[in-house]
């Protein structure tokens, strides 16, 4: 066996505990290594690299990294909370009303103020118990909007992937299916949790994340496979 051939197979030989090089080829390489100091030295050097690679020390990032992470998470939380806020009405009638000039007497102003106080009190009493429900319904609408957008994109990608899936490497296909099933199971679980506790904002956020994870997985596969 020539040095060139041995060098070419040396990594496979080093990893041969995984059965990469077996039988006659393995014996030929060993015979060559026993008689060729250069190749034997190379084998030992590569073996040292392989061994040392598994023992490399862990490195420590700067302390500020945690602060950066917390800050980003806080910013995201604020953004998520803002999903449910209602867009302000465009200027129109109100601008027109405020642009007008009015002249009222003191009794007229006092009367209007009293009426306003009564109306506000009634409104507060009637709606105090419903505030959370209103916020939640806004969040639910936001979730449904987001779900519809992501689902449409996911369905498009899935259709394209299904057409090509049969030609993939079986191991890759199995890994893809496993990942997809895991996400879909999580979506089902999340939906159940939401039915049980419809006001759970974490579940709403998790549902959106799962759709995003699914979309991301399909996008990765699209990029990798064709």
Identified binder of another protein from the candidate list 58, 78, 97, 166, rule CB under 8 A? 58
By CB under 8 A, is residue 70 in contact with another protein? yes
| Interface pattern 36-55 for another protein (x via CB under 8 A) | --xx-xx-xxx-xxx-xxxx
- The residue from 155, 177, 184, 220 that contacts another protein (CB under 8 A) is 220
Q: Which is nearer to another protein, 100 or 166 (CB)?
A: 166
CA distance 82 to 157: 29
- 11 interacts with another protein by CB under 8 A: yes
82 binds another protein (CB under 8 A): no
Q: Is 7 in the site for another protein (CB under 8 A)?
A: yes
Q: Is 8 in the site for another protein (CB under 8 A)?
A: yes
Q: Give the nearest distance from C-beta 138 to another protein in angstroms.
A: 20
Which residues contact another protein (rule: CB under 8 A)?
Answer: 3-4, 7-8, 10-12, 18, 20, 38-39, 41-42, 44-46, 48-50, 52-62, 65-66, 68-70, 72-73, 76, 169, 171-172, 175, 182-183, 186, 202, 205-206, 209-210, 213, 220, 223-225
């Amino acid at each position: 066996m020539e040095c060139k051939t041995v060098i070419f197979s040396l990594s496979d030989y080093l990893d041969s505990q995984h059965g990469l090089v077996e039988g006659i080829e393995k014996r030929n390489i060993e015979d060559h290594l026993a008689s060729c100091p250069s190749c034997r030295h190379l084998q030992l050097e590569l073996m040292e690299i392989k061994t040392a690679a598994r023992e490399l020390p862990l490195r420590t990032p700067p302390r500020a990294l945690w602060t950066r992470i917390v800050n980003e998470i806080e910013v995201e939380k604020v953004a998520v909370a803002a999903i449910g806020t209602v867009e302000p009405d465009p200027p129109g009638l109100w601008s027109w009303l405020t642009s007008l000039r009015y002249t009222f007497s003191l009794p007229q102003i006092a009367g209007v103020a009293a009426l306003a106080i009564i109306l506000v009190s009634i409104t507060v009493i009637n709606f105090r118990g419903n505030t959370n429900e209103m916020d939640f319904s806004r969040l639910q609408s936001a979730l449904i909007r987001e779900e519809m957008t992501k689902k449409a994109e996911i369905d498009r990608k899935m259709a394209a992937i299904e057409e090509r899936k049969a030609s993939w490497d079986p191991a890759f296909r199995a890994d893809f299916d496993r990942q997809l099933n895991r996400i879909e199971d999580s979506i089902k679980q999340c939906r159940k949790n939401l039915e049980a506790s419809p006001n759970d904002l974490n579940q709403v956020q998790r549902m959106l994340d799962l759709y995003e994870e699914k979309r991301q997985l399909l996008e990765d596969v699209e990029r990798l496979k064709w």
